[in-house]
Structure formats: structure tokens, C-alpha cells
Amino acid sequence: MPQPDPFQTLLAGQLRQAFDDDRDADTFLLRLDRYGPELTASLQATYGDAAPALMDRLLELMLHAYHARPADLKRLDEARLLSPDWLQEPGMLGYVAYTDRFAGTLKGVRDRLDYLQDLGVTYLHLMPLLQPRPGENDGGYAVADYRAVRSDLGSMDDLSALAADLRARGVSLVLDLVLNHVAQEHEWARKARAGDPTYREYFHVFPDRTAPDAYERTLPEVFPDFAPGNFTWDDAAQGWVWTTFNTYQWDLNWSNPSVLAEFVDIILHLANRGVEVFRLDAIAFMWKRLGTDCQNQPEVHHLTQALRACARIVAPAVAFKAEAIVAPADLIHYLGSGPHHGRVSDMAYHNSLMVQLWSSLASRDTRLFAEALRVFPPKPTNTTWGLYVRCHDDIGWAISDTDAHRAGLDGAAHRHFLSDFYSGEHPGTFARGLVFQFNPQTGDRRISGTAASLAGLEDALESGDPRHVEAAVRRLLLLHAVTLGFGGLPLLYMGDELALLNDYSFAAVPEHAADNRWLHRPRMDWERAADAHANPATPHGRVNAGLRHLIAVRRGLPHLHASVESRPVHSPDPCVLLLRRDHPQGVMLAAYNFSEHTIDLPTWALRDHLGDHARDHIAGTAFSLGGGTVTLEPYRALWLTQS
């Protein structure tokens, strides 16, 4: 038996005195036993000598938050500890919406819960709703106050009430936690600008260009078009302030332990209000190191581990989702590798899958898709992917030259083709989109547009040709089938369930005009929602019904539990992507035809994985794979299991 550490025993004794209730004390101390070592290791690795004092500070914050945690949330904590794989279940479905664009206010969202539940939503990400700076605010990602709700949307009490309503229906509330920066109007920045040295240390402020110039040598630009460079001169602060994104978004200095303590406090505060998942916005940028691109630095993972350990001790119902739009080899660390395995984010966006969906749709060729997935590092089995067709951001062509090369393509030429295709410049394209952030130095052109417009529905409706409309509807359902059939948490982006088209009115809104990502941030069209129901033969009715069907089928397929990986397997036809899942209940093979052609797939390609008989769960048909071919209509998806 290992001897108990006398210091730990003393600490436990002291901590116990902070509780009236022995069971509460036991719970807290057990969790501290479990997660304390992860926390101290991360603090030590990041802050060295400053770690012990910081640990004391964090303990105080955690005790306070634990005592303040409402009883129903403590009950949720217990429930989640009994189902640690809750985010991985095939019944989970995400929905991502702007509160105002979806339902006006938080109270308005409460009135729309039947709609969400009817769709099968179990996870509701409400886009930035904390108090932003006035005027331009990067869609709310410039937060001025983390403890207040944007006043036109409601109050903190409205947020708690909504969270409780959602919880009662088995829906988790998800909020953005903007970690990398605050608005220049945030109290910390205001104090820094007023000359308070404590708060100046919360940011990276340099008296002259020496350090900024040195960093700039290896820094990329996120918004080369409307916010070039990474530093902004501030008169009040008398210095160059690090501003990776817009000039009004001040990057935080996470090497200052106080910044970590502030965020632990914010997370626990919001968790006690009922927030269940935090989307860790722009997490890759948190730590700066000279001579690097200042992304994906090892300290980022220590910091996440520290934040997560604190959350697990006080509020184990809470999960983290990493918003790291980075290369696959870097991305995997956000789900935990090496000593961080299973200790950082529970979920991360699968940006690469999203990019490959659009790439294959344009090229009618899935070889690059399969190649990219083939070399994708496997994720820890207790984590999950956030899978999406579209989100509120632009699409950047994150396709590596080496993957392209292995698929017989030239990376730069293919990226160029995709930008042409989705901005409507390529001859014969079906897509309608806009170029976002043309970078003359790299030639990069990112793309804005809604899923429906990019998949051809806008163009098809204008052409009036029913064959084009048919193809666009099928393309949309194919993309949804891949994300729903991949094994992870699909994140439906508001409006995509109704095939909403591009919203060109953003150009008339002064705060939005310069940022064409607003093209794909339309207002919810409730009339169309009603119409989709009443007229299921309309294009939006068909997309809606098709999507609902896929969601229902998915919910009943244990093979789609996210602990299992989807792996590409050899496909005899480049138009068809074959993905295999080795689930203990049997093999599942998904087949996706990314073209407008009818493909006759030789049965051996499926028999090798499924044996002689298979069943497609989408159409409910049985296939005999003894010989001959299986016909895949244009854009057809099959979810096959052995039968």
C-alpha cells in the first residue's frame, strides 16, 4: 500500500472544514484526488515557481463555485459521471444558431424549443451572446463582459432559465468561451489603457516595433483583408498591442497566471448558470512564442488541461469543445495526446472533413477525400468529432500539398480550382458564393456562402430547371448523410434544415458590410419552416424531410457511436467514397456517390467488408452481394450493415 502523502492529508483536513456536509466534502475531495495531480502538473509546466500560489487561488475559486452550484446541476454532474460517453452517443444532435437571428431573444428561444426537439436536437450552441463591444464586434467574438448577456437578448437570469428548460428536455446549452482575446472595451483592457500595471500584464503590449517586427517575421495573418498585421498601436496604452484578429480584439497574455484564474472563475460561473459545453474559441492562438506561428504551442494543452481539471472538480457535467482550425497533425493534440491523453477537450471540429465534402462535390472525385482521411491521426476513443457541413465562418481550403500530391493533384492548383468553383467563376459551376479574405501573398481565397447556395440550389431555382433543383437537393442530403454517418456529433447550422439561401442584405448593414461571412448568417425563416412541413415536395421540404429521416435512422444505429473511427477503404470508382466502421456489433460500411452519374459498383467491393448480405438503413433495402453490381443513383448515400 502506498503511504498517504502527509501534505495531502493535512490539506484534505483543512479543506474538509470548508464544508457543512460530509458527503459534499467527500465528493469534492475525491474529485480533487482524481484531478488535482493533472491540475498541478499543468500549472507547474506552465508557471513554474508561480504554480503553488496559483493553486491556492484556484482552490478558493473552486470551493466557492462548488458551494454555489445549484442542486439540479449537481444532480446532472452525477448523471454525467454515470454516462461519460454522453457526447459520443448516436442520439446526440447539435444545432448552432444566433439567438437574435433564430428567435429574437433568449425568451424567444424558449418558445421555439418544440421546434428544436422535433428536429431531434440535444445540443444547442447559441452563438456569442455575452455582452460584446458596441458597434463592430466580429459577430460577438469581441466580448466586453463575460458575466452579462447582450442586453437586447435578455439577462443572465433569462440564460439560466433557458438552460433549465433545455436541460429538462435533455438538451445541453453550449456557449462560446472566447479565450484568446477580449474587446478593447473590456474592463481589463480599459484598466490597462488607463495605465494600471496589473492589467497591462493581462495583455501583450510593446513600447515600440522591435518585438512586434520580430514576431511578425513568422506570423500569418488571419484577416489579411480587413485587419492586416497582428499588432495595433494604441494611444492610450502607448504601445503596440497584440491583436491577432481585429484591431479591437486584444489578445490575452496567458503567461500571466492571473489570466488563468480569471477564466477558471468565468467558466465556473457560467457552468453554474447551466452552460454544459464550452466552445473554446480560437484556442490555438493562446500562447505566443518567438520564431513560431504562435499557434498550437505545447502550453495551450497544459492550459486546457488545467481549465478542464477545475471544471471536472466543480462541474463534471461540463465538456469542452476545441475550435482549432489547424492541420490534422496539430489538431489531434487538442483531443489529447501523450500525457494529455483524455485530459483536454472532449470534442474538436473536424474541419478537414468539412473541406473534403466541398472539394469532392466540386471535383466529383473522392480520392483526395479518402487520402486525407487515410493519413488522419486516430483520435482518443473517449473523444468525439464535431461534424459539420457549414458553420458561421468561411471555408478555407485546408488541403495539404502532400495529401494532394498522393491523390495525384497539385495542391495549389486544386485550391485555386475550389475557390473559382465556389465563387461562381469556374465555367459550369453550380455554386454561388463570395471570396472572403483574398490574400495576395499566398493567393488564398476563402469562401462564404450557405450550404444550399454553395450546393447549387440558388442557381438551380433561378434557372427554373427541375433537374438542377433535384441535383442540388440530392447534393445537400449527401453532405448531411456523410456528417450524420461519420460517427461524431453532427452540428446542424441554423437554416440548413430548410436549405436557406445566401442573404445578400448584409451589405446594407454598416457593421456587417465589410465582412461577407454575414452572407451565410441569414435570419431564420419561420414561414419556410411551416411551408416545409405543409409542402414536403418543395426543395426545402425535401431537404427537411430527408434530413429528419437521416437523423431518425442514425439515432437507431449503435454502429455510429463516436468511440469507433470511420476509415476509408478502397473504392473501385473515384466518384464513390467508402467508409468502414468496425463496431463490436458488426461492420458498418457507408457508400457515398459524389457525382451526378449513376454508378454501378461491383458487389465484391462491398462483400469484402459485409459478407454476402447487407442492408441499407437509409432506404431500408436489402442487398445480395453475391455477384454483379449495386447501383448508386446520383448523389446516393448508403449506410450498410451485415444482415
Give the nearest distance from C-beta 388 to ligand GLC in angstroms: 12
Give the nearest distance from C-beta 279 to ligand GLC in angstroms: 8
Kindly tell me which residue out of 139, 212, 274, 539 binds ligand GLC, with binding defined by CB under 6 A.
139
Q: Are 343 and 391 in contact (CB under 8 A)?
A: no
Burial class (CB in 10 A: 0-12, 13-18, 19+), 406: middle
DSSP β-bridge partners for residue 614: 623, 642
What sign does the CA torsion over 433, 439, 440, 441 have? Answer: negative
Verify binding: residue 282, ligand GLC, rule CB under 6 A.
yes
Per the annotation, the verdict on 511 as an active-site residue is no
Task: Please give the residues from 179 up to 238 whose contact with ligand GLC meets the rule CB under 6 A.
Answer: none
Q: What is the grid cell recorded at 199?
A: 492589467
Nearer to ligand GLC, 138 or 185 (CB): 138
Q: Are 249 and 141 in contact (CB under 8 A)?
A: yes
| Distance, CA of 206 to CA of 290 (rounded, Å) | 14
Build a one-symbol-per-residue string for 520-559: x at contacts with ligand GLC by CB under 6 A, - elsewhere: ----------------------------------------
Give the nearest distance from C-beta 510 to ligand GLC in angstroms: 18
Verify binding: residue 102, ligand GLC, rule CB under 6 A.
no
Task: Please give the residues from 313 up to 332 whose contact with ligand GLC meets the rule CB under 6 A.
Answer: 323
Which range in 2-10, 136-144, 335-343, 588-596 contacts ligand GLC by CB under 6 A? 136-144
Task: Please give the residues from 488 up to 527 whose contact with ligand GLC meets the rule CB under 6 A.
Answer: none
Q: What angle do CA 245, 249, 251 make, to 5 degrees?
A: 85
Give the nearest distance from C-beta 323 to ligand GLC in angstroms: 6
Give the nearest distance from C-beta 150 to ligand GLC in angstroms: 16
Sorted by sequence, the CB contacts under 8 Å of residue 315 that are 6+ apart come out as 65, 69, 73, 77, 268, 271, 272
Please work out the total of residues on this chain that contact ligand GLC, with binding judged by CB under 6 A: 10
Verify binding: residue 281, ligand GLC, rule CB under 6 A.
yes
Task: Please give the residues from 382 up to 401 whose contact with ligand GLC meets the rule CB under 6 A.
Answer: 392-393
Verify binding: residue 455, ligand GLC, rule CB under 6 A.
no
| Distance, CA of 78 to CA of 209 (rounded, Å) | 52
Catalytic pick from 185, 234, 281, 394? 281
Q: How many CB atoms lie within 10 A of CB 115?
A: 17
Catalytic pick from 158, 276, 323, 346? 323
Sorted by sequence, the CB contacts under 8 Å of residue 624 that are 6+ apart come out as 612, 613
Residue nearest to ligand GLC (CB): 141
Nearer to ligand GLC, 87 or 178 (CB): 178
Q: What is the grid cell recorded at 324?
A: 482549432
Which range in 65-73, 137-145, 313-321, 619-627 contacts ligand GLC by CB under 6 A? 137-145
Kindly tell me which residue out of 97, 178, 237, 357 binds ligand GLC, with binding defined by CB under 6 A.
178
DSSP β-bridge partners for residue 593: 576
Q: Are 571 and 370 in contact (CB under 8 A)?
A: yes
**Cα 304 from chain centroid?**
16
Verify binding: residue 138, ligand GLC, rule CB under 6 A.
yes
| Distance, CA of 94 to CA of 173 (rounded, Å) | 10
| Distance, CA of 321 to CA of 326 (rounded, Å) | 14
| Distance, CA of 348 to CA of 488 (rounded, Å) | 10
Q: Are 189 and 204 in contact (CB under 8 A)?
A: no
Per the annotation, the verdict on 393 as an active-site residue is no
Verify binding: residue 100, ligand GLC, rule CB under 6 A.
no
Give the nearest distance from C-beta 142 to ligand GLC in angstroms: 7
Q: Could you tell me the strand order of the sheet in which 231-234 lies? A: 205-206, 239-242, 231-234
Nearer to ligand GLC, 335 or 591 (CB): 335
Which range in 52-60, 133-141, 586-594, 600-608 contacts ligand GLC by CB under 6 A? 133-141
Nearer to ligand GLC, 352 or 566 (CB): 352
Verify binding: residue 141, ligand GLC, rule CB under 6 A.
yes
Sorted by sequence, the CB contacts under 8 Å of residue 483 that are 6+ apart come out as 353, 357, 387, 388, 389, 490
Nearer to ligand GLC, 127 or 469 (CB): 127
Instruction: Say how many residues make up the chain.
Output: 643
Kindly tell me which residue out of 245, 250, 263, 635 binds ligand GLC, with binding defined by CB under 6 A.
245
| Distance, CA of 373 to CA of 328 (rounded, Å) | 10
DSSP β-bridge partners for residue 1: none
Nearer to ligand GLC, 373 or 434 (CB): 434
Query: What is the set of active-site residues?
Result: 281, 323
List interacting residues with ligand GLC (CB under 6 A): 138-139, 141, 178, 245, 281-282, 323, 392-393
